[in-house]
Amino acid sequence: MSAANDTNRTTTNRHRINSPISPPTPKSSYKIASIPGDGIGPEVIAAAVEILKALTKKLSKFKLEFTEFDWGTERFLKTGSYTPEDYLEVLREFDAILFGSVGSPSVPDHISLWGLRLAICQPLQQYANVRPTRILPGTKSPLANCQPGDLDWVIVRENSEGEYAGQGGRSHVGCDHEVATELSIFTRTGVRRIAHFAFNVAQNRPRKMLTYVTKSNAQRNGMVMWDEVVQEVAKDYPDVSVDHMLVDAMTVRMVLNPRSLDTILATNLHADILSDLAAALAGSIGIAPTANLDPTRKNPSMFEPIHGSAFDITGLGLANPVATFWTASEMLHWLGESEAAISLMDAVEKTCAAGIVTKDLGGKAGTKQVTEAVLGEILKL
């Protein structure tokens, strides 16, 4: 899709995350692996699958074939592993992965995260993590005077290296002189490819602005290389205006001047933290979607809500399904089914605008009511 075409996009369409790096191949049927996982994951994934089935039936343009996998903490506690041994070969047969959440009070978070979510993202080369954030109609930002349209960002998170590269270790465990290291790994290739991806995202949005975030005053090696590589890549995108922020100052700017930001590029850890702040500023973590993309399309990409397992509300019917609906819409964009993606987001936005929202957004509806209202909007298409 060319930048010229993009200038005519609707508000909803502005949130497409299709990278021009590798265009999608249209199909009449797509195979989707669904991994509901733990906590509220199964509740929001069930709602999203119901919505997607209704949408594809209504539009009658393409099919989605779902296969559900029971990979999660229950499986880990029974078998000692979150997945079967051949899970990567299994997943490579699919066009996309719809993921709920992983994490449980019965297993330390670093075991569950590395046992399932990171065990998928890293080997499948899903190096671009994309997190659109905006205030949906009918919902409110906790920031005074911040209206829908004032906060409209896409955060691009480097998803394969940095602080989550998994390198480091512990010696003399349990002794007073125990030592633990956590190495941040930054490669020129890794920074270059995510910078190209982020500039493509920025170029395909109307404001064509990119802010990149590092901490190169204090961290004088990896972060300085990040700055250098991003500035080099910027030369290929003369139509995108670029600025740089240190991560600490960035938190202040996000709160005090949200309108000044559009596309945000940051390292794995920085973007992880900033996107939770972004979700809260946009109203709730219950609406925030994320996509783990392999922009080369050699491997399936994975779509999930940003939130975790939320055991405090699991089984109560209170989980906000909007983040999962939004990520399902991003999945449709990625598959090249933009018309369906836009219709889905329109149905979600109309539901929010009608005040049918869950408690985290100040409403009284439960998961079921929100899902039914979105289904109702889909049937009106």
Show which residues are catalytic: 164, 215, 248, 272, 276
Alpha-carbon distances, residue 343 vs 55, 151, 326, 356 (angstroms): 8, 22, 11, 18
Q: Does 47 bind ligand ATP (CB under 6 A)?
A: no
The least distance separating ligand ATP from the CB of residue 57, rounded to whole angstroms, comes to: 25
Q: Does 160 bind ligand ATP (CB under 6 A)?
A: no
Residue whose CB is nearest to ligand ATP in the complex, by number: 308
φ, ψ of residue 34 in degrees (nearest 5): -110, 130
Which residues neighbour 8 within 8 Å (Cβ) at sequence distance 6 or greater?
Answer: none
Amino acid residing at 350:
K
Alpha-carbon distances, residue 87 vs 100, 102, 124 (angstroms): 17, 16, 11
For residues 196 to 235, the per-residue mask of contacts with ligand ATP, x marking binding by CB under 6 A and - elsewhere, is: ----------------------------------------
Which residues neighbour 10 within 8 Å (Cβ) at sequence distance 6 or greater?
Answer: 342
Q: Does 285 bind ligand ATP (CB under 6 A)?
A: yes
Closest CA to 189 of 124, 264, 127, 272: 127
Q: Does 309 bind ligand ATP (CB under 6 A)?
A: yes
What CA–CA distance (Å, rounded) separates 234 from 241? Answer: 9
The least distance separating ligand ATP from the CB of residue 44, rounded to whole angstroms, comes to: 6
The least distance separating ligand ATP from the CB of residue 154, rounded to whole angstroms, comes to: 20
The answer to whether residues 230 and 213 touch, using CB atoms and an 8 Å cutoff, is no
Q: Does 289 bind ligand ATP (CB under 6 A)?
A: no
Q: Choose, by CB under 6 A, the member of 65, 70, 93, 109 that binds ligand ATP.
A: 109
The least distance separating ligand ATP from the CB of residue 10, rounded to whole angstroms, comes to: 26
Between 219 and 369, whose beta carbon lies closer to ligand ATP? 369
Between 286 and 300, whose beta carbon lies closer to ligand ATP? 286
What CA–CA distance (Å, rounded) separates 215 from 226? Answer: 10
Q: Choose, by CB under 6 A, the member of 148, 295, 308, 336 that binds ligand ATP.
A: 308
Between 216 and 324, whose beta carbon lies closer to ligand ATP? 324
What CA–CA distance (Å, rounded) separates 156 from 259? Answer: 17
Q: How many CB atoms lie within 10 A of CB 223?
A: 22
Q: Choose, by CB under 6 A, the member of 85, 86, 176, 312 that binds ligand ATP.
A: 312
Piece of 131-139, 223-231, 232-240, 313-321 that binds ligand ATP (CB under 6 A): 313-321
Interface with ligand ATP: number of residues (CB under 6 A): 18
Q: Choose, by CB under 6 A, the member of 310, 332, 365, 374 that binds ligand ATP.
A: 310
What CA–CA distance (Å, rounded) separates 57 from 61? Answer: 8
Q: Does 320 bind ligand ATP (CB under 6 A)?
A: yes
Piece of 17-25, 232-240, 311-319, 332-340 that binds ligand ATP (CB under 6 A): 311-319
Residues between 338 and 367 with contacts to ligand ATP, criterion CB under 6 A = 358, 360
What CA–CA distance (Å, rounded) separates 148 from 134? Answer: 7
What CA–CA distance (Å, rounded) separates 324 from 302? Answer: 12
Q: Does 103 bind ligand ATP (CB under 6 A)?
A: yes
Q: Choose, by CB under 6 A, the member of 286, 289, 300, 366 that binds ligand ATP.
A: 286
Q: Does 46 bind ligand ATP (CB under 6 A)?
A: no
Question: Which H/E stretch holds residue 101?
Answer: strand 96-101
Between 214 and 324, whose beta carbon lies closer to ligand ATP? 324
Q: Choose, by CB under 6 A, the member of 319, 328, 344, 356 that binds ligand ATP.
A: 319
Locate the DSSP E strands across 126-219.
128-134, 152-158, 162-171, 179-185, 209-214
Helices (H), 182-321: 188-203, 222-234, 247-256, 268-281
Q: Does 307 bind ligand ATP (CB under 6 A)?
A: yes
Q: In this structure, what DSSP letter does residue 143 have? A: S
Where does this chain bind ligand ATP (CB under 6 A)? 40, 101, 103, 109, 285-286, 307-313, 319-320, 323, 358, 360
